[in-house]
A and B are shown apart, each in its own frame.
Chain A
Amino acid sequence: MRIAIAGKGGTGKTTIAGTLARALARTGREVLAIDANTNPNLASVLGIPPASANAIVGLPRNLMQRTTHEDGTTTTKFGADPEALIREYAIRGPDDVQLMVMGRVGHGGAG
């Protein structure tokens, strides 16, 4: 299943998403968690230590290719092989959950 967890910030959706990912992994299935938040913090709910989490490279934001058709509709698809992206960008955490983070807006410098 491909499950999206969505909601207003502060509702606890990240707690639910991360705990759900760990629980699903414990059923023996491979689990890929994707953090699509502007301020990513799914890593800590997954139990990935801060040092590893801070080293995660976000997926480039220009991955999606949008094509506009003659009738004005658009379709969007990945411009890259998903398995290759996972091999390059995902890190593994407890219960073997893999985590990818959607790319952040560039930061101005050390904060």
Chain B
Amino acid sequence: MVARAESDRHVVVDMEAALEHLSRGTGRHVSRLVAVLEPYYRSMETARNVVALATELGVPDVVVVANKVRDAADREAITEFCRTHAMRLVGEVPYDGQLADVERSGRAPIDAAAGSPAVVAIEALAGPLGSDAPMAMTRLVGAT
């Protein structure tokens, strides 16, 4: 088996909105921070604060991914909020009923719900999120 090079390693940190483990000293060591939001006001407001704080702490690339998006109305609300607050929306994960069952059972969605819409969407984001190239912002289909 070929050992994977440590120098090629990706690091993925799952952290709370307060960004407790980041400080001015460590913010710059994060390449990219993804603020996750759902299409309701308090979640979007929290994400707005996360984006502001991460930027202030020196994270070089701060982006937003919307999760549990159900329909065009959700998409519209999120896009409008991000546009208003200059938040860089780069991806969307759909609401996926299959995940609730899987997570109740304590299994990994990528194993137990392989091919389900949310898993597919996250897998599609892996390439852009893991690349050091700047990420493109998503657009509403049909938006002018």
Contact = CB atoms under 8 A, between A and B. Distances in A.
Contacts, number: 207
Query: Is chain B's interface secondary structure helix, strand, loop, or mixed overall?
Result: mixed
B126 A23 contact: yes
Given A29-B4, A74-B24, A20 B12 contact: yes
A91 interface: no
Given A5-B14, A34-B12, A94 B29 contact: no
Given A8-B17, A12-B93, A34-B14, A3 B25 contact: no
A14 to B, nearest CB: 5
B9 A13 contact: no
A4 B43 contact: no
Interface residues of A, number: 52
Given A29-B8, A31-B9, A47-B108, A6 B25 contact: no
A76 B26 contact: yes
A3 B10 contact: yes
A45 B118 CA distance: 13
